[in-house]
Chain A
Amino acid sequence: MTAAVVSTVLLLVGVFFVASAVLGALRFPDVFTRMHAITKAGTLGVGFFMAAAAVHFGDDISLVTRAVGVIVFTLLTAPASAQMIGRAAYLAGAPRAPNTEVDDLADAYPEPTDLFGAKPPPTASERDGSRS
């Protein structure tokens, strides 16, 4: 009974966060703000839902481990994937909200870079130019 009450509270908090994520995805003006809403609120939503599942299946330690594993995995991967898709969107020139004022990356990418910051391999003409 107590576990059901605790699960219900966690579920309702999770629903609140998921609803905030969807609201942000629908109402925010550009891809970066939407990513902000979806990543943070979505991660919290998944975390609270899995915490509710962990409380509900509290007498089976293997299920608790799985639920906690989902939480840990989401907390680890969501920021990484958001960072990658955000940078890709920036490099691909995704449209920004008209009232965007600060662009800290304006001169951070003078030329296209690889995913991990390495420069792309030189083209054939560049190689020939350095050789001669």
Chain B
Amino acid sequence: MPLGWFEGVLMGVVSLLVIALAGAVVRVVRGPHLADRVVALDLVAYITVCIIGAGSMLVEEGPLLDVALVLSLLAFLGTVAFARFLERVHRRKA
């Protein structure tokens, strides 16, 4: 298919986001404390929502935005669950 300049911009943006995703995964792997990993996983979810948003424009599939909505909801729930888990572990240690 012939690509306009906007599709080129979108492909470049998605490429940059994939690099950013790699950086976030580096923090997930290295992050010394469990909280570091949880926060970095939050960042991974944010970047994935951005990629889905750009991808929905790239393939002209608007309903993909539903996926972004559900993913942001799941990221919030996961972070809250991890926070509760961290606090409970701390309370058991104290």
Q: Which residues of A contact B (CB under 8 A)?
A: 4, 7-8, 11-12, 14-15, 18-19, 21-23, 25-26, 31, 34-35, 38-39, 42-43, 45-46, 49-50, 52-53, 56-57, 60, 62-63, 66-67, 69-70, 73-74, 77-78, 80-82, 84-85, 87-89, 91-95, 111-112, 115, 120
Contact = CB atoms under 8 A, between A and B. Distances in A.
Given A15-B17, A73-B73, A94-B33, A81 B80 contact: yes
B35 A52 contact: no
Contacts of B73: 73, 77
A93 to B, nearest CB: 7
A66 B65 contact: yes
Contacts of B68: 50, 66, 70
Contacts of B46: 18, 21, 38, 42-43, 45-46, 74
Contact of B91 (A35, A50, A120): A120
Of the four ranges (under 10, 10 to 19, 20 to 34, 35 or more), the interface on chain B belongs to 35 or more
Given A21-B43, A49-B50, A85 B24 contact: no
Given A18-B50, A95-B32, 20 more contacts: A4-B5, A11-B13, A21-B43, A35-B39, A38-B42, A45-B50, A46-B50, A50-B53, A53-B57, A67-B65, A70-B65, A73-B73, A73-B76, A77-B73, A82-B39, A85-B82, A88-B82, A88-B90, A89-B35, A115-B84
